[in-house]
């Protein structure tokens, strides 16, 4: 068994969206093979045993799928490693005695619920604004019933891997949601199944994004650099192209 590490934590504590909030300092012993969230479990067990309020943070699958584990760790969404979520970050990425600063996503469109937990229902409303896709709902058809070039299918799947965690918004100096919306628009824009509502979909989703208060994109690329699923910046170009086509056709 590997020797336990001592980690000094500076954790953002905030009662609710209207509270000013502040950093509080803790010390915790962690095994190097623990995930970052498991280390927070240990911290909360210690706090509860001391009669103190545990730190609220989002988590669900802990397998890099759901996108819930939204923490800014030492200034980077999901921490210092690329292409992973917070739950996939292990304590061996840090050194014994390190001080680690942990904050929530910072964006007006993601108001703090408590501590490190934020309300990301704005993303849900953007998805809902996109509406439905006109496809048959009977028995599943053969996989090759609609022929799609592999290159196109691969690009669509690449965009579809977005888990909606919000790291792109947190990383952006403008709190823009363009990478997220671009991914959701691109995955359908490339496929024949997504063409029937393509124009109304992109306009409705962009309008909802603006209504939620997300900032504008200035193409710094921070969103793609911090995306745990490595969604490419090119989806924003696709979003802009699809939006322009829709507006030019009168939508």
Element (H, E) at 245: helix 234-248
Query: In the prediction, which pLDDT does 156 show?
Result: 96
Using the predicted structure, report yes or no on whether residue 1 has a pLDDT greater than 60: no
Using the predicted structure, report yes or no on whether residue 12 has a pLDDT greater than 80: yes
Query: In the prediction, which pLDDT does 137 show?
Result: 66
pTM of the predicted model, to two decimals? 0.93
Query: In the prediction, which pLDDT does 245 show?
Result: 96
Neighbours of 215 (CB within 10 A): 17
Query: In the prediction, which pLDDT does 251 show?
Result: 86
Query: In the prediction, which pLDDT does 135 show?
Result: 73
Element (H, E) at 155: helix 150-160
Instruction: Name beta bridge partners: 215.
Output: 176
Please tell me the distance from the alpha carbon of residue 133 to that of residue 130, in angstroms, as a whole number. Answer: 9
Strand ordering across the sheet containing 99-103: 22-30, 5-13, 99-103, 72-73, 76-77
Using the predicted structure, report yes or no on whether residue 138 has a pLDDT greater than 60: yes
Using the predicted structure, report yes or no on whether residue 2 has a pLDDT greater than 70: no
Neighbours of 213 (CB within 10 A): 13
Convert the pLDDT of each residue in 182-235 to its tens digit: 999 999 999 998 999 999 999 999 999 999 999 999 999 999 999 999 999 999
Sketch out the chain's domains with CATH numbers: 5-113 (3.10.20.30), 120-248 (1.10.1060.10)
Convert the pLDDT of each residue in 92-124 to its tens digit: 999 999 999 999 999 999 999 999 999 999 999
Report whether 164 contacts 217 (CB < 8 A): no
Average per-residue pLDDT for the chain? 95
Query: In the prediction, which pLDDT does 134 show?
Result: 82
């Amino acid at each position: 068994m590997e020797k336990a590490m001592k980690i000094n934590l500076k954790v953002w504590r905030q009662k609710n969206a209207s509270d000013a909030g502040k950093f509080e300092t803790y010390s915790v012993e962690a095994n190097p093979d623990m995930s970052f969230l498991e280390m927070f479990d240990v911290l909360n067990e210690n706090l509860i045993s001391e009669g103190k309020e545990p730190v609220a943070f989002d988590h669900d699958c802990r397998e890099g799928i759901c996108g819930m584990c939204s923490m800014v760790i030492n200034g980077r969404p999901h921490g210092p490693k690329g292409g992973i979520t917070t739950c996939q970050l292990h304590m061996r990425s840090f050194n014994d005695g390190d001080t680690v600063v942990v904050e929530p996503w910072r964006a007006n469109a993601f108001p703090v619920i408590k501590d490190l937990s934020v309300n990301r229902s704005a993303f849900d409303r953007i998805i809902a604004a996109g509406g439905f896709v006109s496809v048959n709902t009977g028995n599943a058809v053969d996989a090759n019933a609609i022929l799609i070039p592999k290159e196109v299918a691969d690009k669509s799947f690449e965009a579809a891997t977005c888990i909606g965690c919000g790291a792109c918004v947190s990383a952006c100096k403008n709190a823009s949601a363009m990478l997220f919306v671009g991914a959701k628009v691109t995955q359908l824009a490339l496929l024949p199944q997504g063409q029937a509502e393509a124009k109304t979909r992109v306009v409705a989703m962009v309008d909802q994004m603006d209504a939620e208060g997300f900032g504008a994109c200035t193409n710094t690329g921070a969103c793609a650099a911090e995306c745990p699923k490595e969604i490419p910046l090119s989806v924003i170009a696709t979003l802009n192209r699809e939006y322009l086509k829709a507006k030019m056709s009168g939508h």
